[in-house]
Structure formats: structure tokens, C-alpha cells
Chain A
Amino acid sequence: MHQPERRSNQRRSGANCGDMPKAHRSGTGSCVCTYLGQSRRLASSRAGSTRPMFAYVVRRLISTFVVMVLVGVFVFLLLHFSPGDPATLIAGDNADAEQIESIRKGLGLDQPLLVQFMNWSLRVLQGDFGISVFTQAPVINLIVERLEPTVSLAVTTLLFAALVAVAIGVVSAWKAGSWIDQVFMGGAIVGFSLPVFVVGYVLIYIFSMQLKWLPVQGYTPIAEGVLPWAKGLILPTIALGTSYVALIARITRASMLEILSQDYMRTARAKGVSARGMLIGHALRNAGVPIVTIIGIGFAMLISGVVITETVFNLPGVGRLVVDSIAKRDYPVIQGAIIIFSGVYVLINLLIDVLYTLIDPRIRY
């Protein structure tokens, strides 16, 4: 039944293990490949020899550090060039020029840009993101207060997307070319095309307004009961997860197809391994690396989506905080949120990359 598919896959999968980037690009489409060209892949193409893992981890740490410094420079300049003088703002309306000048000195704003940047970086590393222009509260406190809905939404979406997408991708690859594969992959391209807020409003309209099954908007803290918390998160999770599911499902299908065409899969079948054993035990385990990579890299998409989802469903999270801060021109808050989101994204991808070297002995750097 699967014979013809298998053979055609073999023909196109000229790529071997050392040729990972190309294999993924061709297998998954460029919208996806753009997320995939991550440094781990590039690192692998650079180091032809078998370098010790330790050296790789160190190099990866250094490049992560460089990336975070660049993010820091960008965000620092953002605040530096934002309109409005912090010293004047803090001094208030009744301050004279001398008072403003002394506050400016106190803040270190009279020093060279590089010194200011170093001081600012040191403060950020200690968790001091400055003070909100609007509420006068420390930015870090504002963000921590809003963390629960955001983390809840991100975690549920990640779980939902990974489970559903891998299932869809595995079935699609196994039944490649069948109607169910076409329905799934057609659904994936539609899902990838729909913005979060469109999916969100359609869901709200159907399930909250017409059927009245679920709350329209708002968030119930988990402390007030797991069930109401979960009920409030169902629609946001689906809305945010749709494009993520589409992304992961396409990668899963492509890398499963790649693996299914390998010789050892034929061997497994020849020795009588069951279909399930083949799919789960052999293929999925080997296809795991690109799948986990895309989950990590797609995390950037998830973060952007969180901002929109929280607006659609009126969840009081960090994303909502950022959007509210745009209207108030509250730059320190925007700045703090960008650093934290970017930091989380970079750390997650670092973690995934380093974990590979521990889990998968084939990956050498």
C-alpha cells in the first residue's frame, strides 16, 4: 500500500545525515525553513571534524552571549532614542533646570553612551529594568505580576500544539498521498495562513456567543480553581496553537517521510516489526531532532502570538502589558518585556541545542 510513496521518497531524499539543513529545507517549505536555519545546523556544517562536545557547548554559549548583547544594544538604543527625557519626567512639573540637572547626574545620564550602556546592562542582569514612566512602579514588578496568564497560555499551547501536531504529522506521513494526508496538509496550510486574532474571534463567536459553552474573555487565576482556569484557557490555546500546530505538523510529516525512506526502516519491516512499532519506536524517535528544533524555533512565533491572543481574549498577561504600554508610550516597560521574551527564546533554543548533544550521539560538532 505504501510502496509507491516510499520509493518516491527515497528518490528525493538524496540528503544524508550530514546534510541536515538542505534535507529540512526541501522537506518542509521555506516558510518553515526560515525558522530552521538555526545556528546549530550552521555549526554542524562548519565543523567537519569530530570536535569534542564540550568545545561545541562552549562555542554555543559564547554565541548566545553575543546574541544577547546585540539584543541588549538594540533595546538600550530604543530607550535612549525614545522621546522624553527621563530626568525631566522624574523631577516632575515644578522642578527647575538645576534640579533636573542633578537628577540627570544621579541617573548617570551625563556619562558617555558606552558607560551608560555598561551600567544599564549590569542593572538588567540584576533584574532591574528601570521604572515605568506611567505607574512609577519598577518594571520587573509589573512584569512578574502579569506572568501567570502568559506562562499558563504558553505552556498549554506548547503541549496542545506538540501533541496534536506530532499526531497529525505522523498519520500524514504514514498515509502519505491518501485523502487523510491531503486533508491534514490542506488544513495545515490554511491554519498557517490564519492570523491568531481571526481564529480567536471565530472561536469566541461560535463557542462563547452562539453555543455559550465557554467564557467569552478574561482569565481565572489557577489559585481560584483548576477547572475555571482551564475553561478560560481552552479557546486562547486553540487560537494561538493553530498556526503552531500547522508549522510543527508540516515538519513532522517531512522528517518522518525522510526517515521512513531509510534502509533501516525496510529492515525493520522485513524482520516483522509492527506498524506501530515502526512508526513510534523507529521513525518518530529518529525524526525527533528536527521536530524538537522547530518547536524551539517556533517559540518566537508563539511569543508574538501571545501578545495578540492576550488582547483578543483580554488576558491580563505580559503581552497585554506591552500593548497597553504602546498607547501610554511607556518605553521602559516595552524594553523590559522585549528583553525578557528574547532572553527566554534564546535560552530555550540554547537548551534544546545543548540537550541534543547529550541525547543524540550522532550529532557531532
Chain B
Amino acid sequence: MTDTIAIGNAAPAKPAIARLFRAVRRNPLMFVGALILILMALTAIAAPLIAGDPVTMQPSRRLLPPSETFLFGTDHLGRDVFARTIYGARVSLIVGLSVSAVSVLIGMVLGLLAGYFRGLDAPIMRVMDGLMAIPSILLAIAMVALMGSSLGVVMLAIIIPEVPRVVRLVRSVTLSTRENQYVEAAVATGTRTGKILVRHILPSTIAPLIVQATYVCASAILVEASLSFLGAGMPPDVPTWGNMIASSRLYLGRAPWTIFCPALALGLVVLAVNLLGDGLRDRFDPRMARRM
């Protein structure tokens, strides 16, 4: 694959590998973040191959410290903490990815509409203000309490408070982009409004949106874990990091590994996403390129 790309590029100089190395040197933290995420995603996908059974309880082996058989020990019901942590990554990554994709998509459409059509601006933005005024965890708690806990409801409960932030971002980019002369020219020559939005305005929102998507992803993973931890997220028998920490709460003193292993995984993933986001922002926002 890399070969074809290198040949396809007529530029005689750098092969792909060298370019990659240079990019890594310029922003090593971003690639550390990306690497952690790729590894996490691979382990999550290959969970059945790597880890044992995450749900079977065996009272005879409860609260065992980490050993060769149980890398992260066992919890108070004798479940394999390593397996549960690996399976927990599945929920976190699925929630993070789908929430950021859906929120960005909805936010993009609403933001474009609010930014381009003056008549829609105030109504859309006031509703967004209203949604933003409700603390996200409380909003999510209320929705889960109302609709019951399942993956879909949890994701919806996280998406709703995330959308307003994306809308604000896209709206502000749209407002400044539409002042450009090329937009004016397109309007003057009778280009259809839909085409103006998609061809002339949408492209300038893409870079900030990609950066924003990473932050939405980090926030979604955190909120999902928090909701599970509070008992308002996924059903308690599903292995998620928040559920694991919540159910092991009373064993912090006796078996700290039952809490710290999922906690470490959670912190690591969110940190990786944030590092990736900061790196992308430095890359896409030239004014910030020489921050450090």
C-alpha cells in the first residue's frame, strides 16, 4: 500500500516512511495518542481471542490479586478483571465513536442552517442555549431514568448535550465564511442555496469539526463511564469501566486492582483522544501551530 502511494506521488523526494517520521517528530504526543487508540481498538475487536470470559462468576476465586492466570486479578464475584477491562473498552469505544459521529453530523446541519438563514438563527440557538443550560450528567440521568438503560438510550442521552457545542462552532464558522466574496459571487450568479452551503461553506467547517469530533469523543467516553458509575448508564451486568468501578467501590481497600485497572484504562483512552485532538488542532489551526 505505502509503495503505491509513494510511486503515485510524482514528488521525487521523501518516501512515505520518512514523511511519517517527520510528522511524528513534529508532534510526537499526537502519535502517542493515536497509537494508544489503535492498540485499544485492536484489543477491543479481538477481545474474545485475548481475554477470557468476562461474565462468569466464581465465588471460589474472589478478590484474587493480579497473577499470571488473572493479569488484573479478580473482583468480588470472582470475575476476571482483565477480561472485563478488555470488554469494557468495546462499550467505551463504540459510545465514543458513534456519539461523536452523530453529534457532529446533527450539529453540522443545524449549525449551517443557523449560520446561513437569518430567520432560523434565533430559534435554533435559543433551543441550544436551553439544552446547554442543563448540566449534561443531569440531563442524561433524567433521560436514562425515564427511558430505561440500554446502549441506544445512553448514547442519545450523551448526544443531546453534545450537539449544541457543535452547532455553536459550525454556526460561527458559517457566519464568517458567508462574508467571503466567493459566496457573494455564487449568490449573485444564482447558484442554488443548497449548492452554496455544500460547496462553498461546508468545506471550511471540516477542519474545526474534525478537531471538535475528538473532543466530543473524549467527553462521550467520560460521560458514559460517569453514567455507568452512577447507576444510570448501561445495565449493571454489562462489563463497562464505569460499572466495574461502581461495583467494586466497597473493595477499594482490600482489592484496589478491581478499581484501578478499569480506571487506568479509562484515563488512558480519554488522554489518548485528547492528545490526538490537541495535535490535530495544532495541525489545522495555523495560528496555533507554534504554541509550544
Q: Which residues of A contact B134 (CB under 8 A)?
A: 71, 74, 338, 341-342
A37 touches B165 (CB 8 A): yes
B274 touches A31 (CB 8 A): yes
Is B226 located at the chain interface by the 8 A CB criterion?
yes
The distance in angstroms between the C-alpha atoms of A193 and B266, with both chains bound, is 9
Is B101 located at the chain interface by the 8 A CB criterion?
no
The distance in angstroms between the C-alpha atoms of A303 and B141, with both chains bound, is 13
Q: B269 — nearest CB in chain A belongs to which residue?
A: A193
| Contact partner, B211, options A30, A42, A192, Cβ 8 Å | A30
B266 touches A198 (CB 8 A): yes
Is B136 located at the chain interface by the 8 A CB criterion?
yes
| Contact partner, A30, options B130, B131, B176, B208, Cβ 8 Å | B208
Distance (whole angstroms) from the CB of B37 to the closest CB of chain A: 13
Is A337 located at the chain interface by the 8 A CB criterion?
yes
Q: Which residues of A contact B218 (CB under 8 A)?
A: 31, 193
Please indicate which of the listed interface residues A12, A83, A196, A335 has the most CB atoms of chain B within 10 Å of its own CB: A12
Q: Which residues of A contact B141 (CB under 8 A)?
A: 307, 322-323, 326, 334
The distance in angstroms between the C-alpha atoms of A24 and B229, with both chains bound, is 33
A189 touches B275 (CB 8 A): yes
Is A274 located at the chain interface by the 8 A CB criterion?
no
Which candidate, A50-58, A62-70, A94-102, A149-157, is the interface stretch facing chain B?
A: A62-70
Is A117 located at the chain interface by the 8 A CB criterion?
no
The distance in angstroms between the C-alpha atoms of A80 and B175, with both chains bound, is 38
The distance in angstroms between the C-alpha atoms of A177 and B291, with both chains bound, is 8
**Interface residue SS majority, chain B:** helix
A195 touches B145 (CB 8 A): no
Q: CB-CB contacts of B258-287 with A at 8 A, as 1s and 0s?
A: 011001001100110111011001000111
Is B8 located at the chain interface by the 8 A CB criterion?
no
A63 touches B145 (CB 8 A): no
| Contact partner, A193, options B144, B172, B274, Cβ 8 Å | B274
Is B174 located at the chain interface by the 8 A CB criterion?
no
The distance in angstroms between the C-alpha atoms of A181 and B144, with both chains bound, is 41
| Contact partner, B266, options A30, A70, A195, Cβ 8 Å | A195
Q: Which residues of A contact B168 (CB under 8 A)?
A: 34, 37
Distance (whole angstroms) from the CB of A8 to the closest CB of chain B: 5
Which candidate, A124-132, A201-209, A265-273, is the interface stretch facing chain B?
A: A201-209
A13-43 with Cβ < 8 A to chain B? 13-14, 21-22, 26-27, 29-31, 33-35, 37, 39, 42
Q: Which residues of A contact B13 (CB under 8 A)?
A: none
Which candidate, B38-46, B56-64, B121-129, is the interface stretch facing chain A?
A: B121-129
The distance in angstroms between the C-alpha atoms of A192 and B226, with both chains bound, is 14
The distance in angstroms between the C-alpha atoms of A63 and B267, with both chains bound, is 38
Is B253 located at the chain interface by the 8 A CB criterion?
yes
Is B231 located at the chain interface by the 8 A CB criterion?
yes
Is B159 located at the chain interface by the 8 A CB criterion?
no
B127 touches A322 (CB 8 A): no
Q: B253 — nearest CB in chain A belongs to which residue?
A: A209
| Interface range on chain A (Cβ under 8 Å from partner) | 35 or more
Is B138 located at the chain interface by the 8 A CB criterion?
yes
Q: Which residues of B contact A185 (CB under 8 A)?
A: 292
Is B133 located at the chain interface by the 8 A CB criterion?
yes
Q: Which residues of B contact A69 (CB under 8 A)?
A: 130
Q: CB-CB contacts of A157-181 with B at 8 A, as 1s and 0s?
A: 0000000000000000000010001
Q: B254 — nearest CB in chain A belongs to which residue?
A: A209
Q: CB-CB contacts of A272-303 with B at 8 A, as 1s and 0s?
A: 00000000000000000000000000001001
Q: CB-CB contacts of A72-115 with B at 8 A, as 1s and 0s?
A: 00110010011100000000000000000000000000000000
The distance in angstroms between the C-alpha atoms of A131 and B127, with both chains bound, is 28
Is B288 located at the chain interface by the 8 A CB criterion?
yes
Q: Which residues of A contact B72 (CB under 8 A)?
A: none
B230 touches A326 (CB 8 A): yes
Tell me whether A345 and B133 are in contact in the complex, defined as CB-CB below 8 angstroms, given that A78-B142, A198-B266, A201-B259 are known contacts.
Answer: yes
* 7 nearest A-B residue pairs (beta carbon): A70-B130, A34-B165, A304-B137, A37-B168, A193-B271, A31-B215, A193-B270
Residues of B within 8 A of A (CB): 125-127, 129-139, 141-146, 165, 168-169, 172, 175-176, 208, 211-212, 215, 218-219, 222, 225-226, 229-232, 245, 252-253, 256, 259-260, 263, 266-267, 270-271, 273-275, 277-278, 281, 285-290, 292
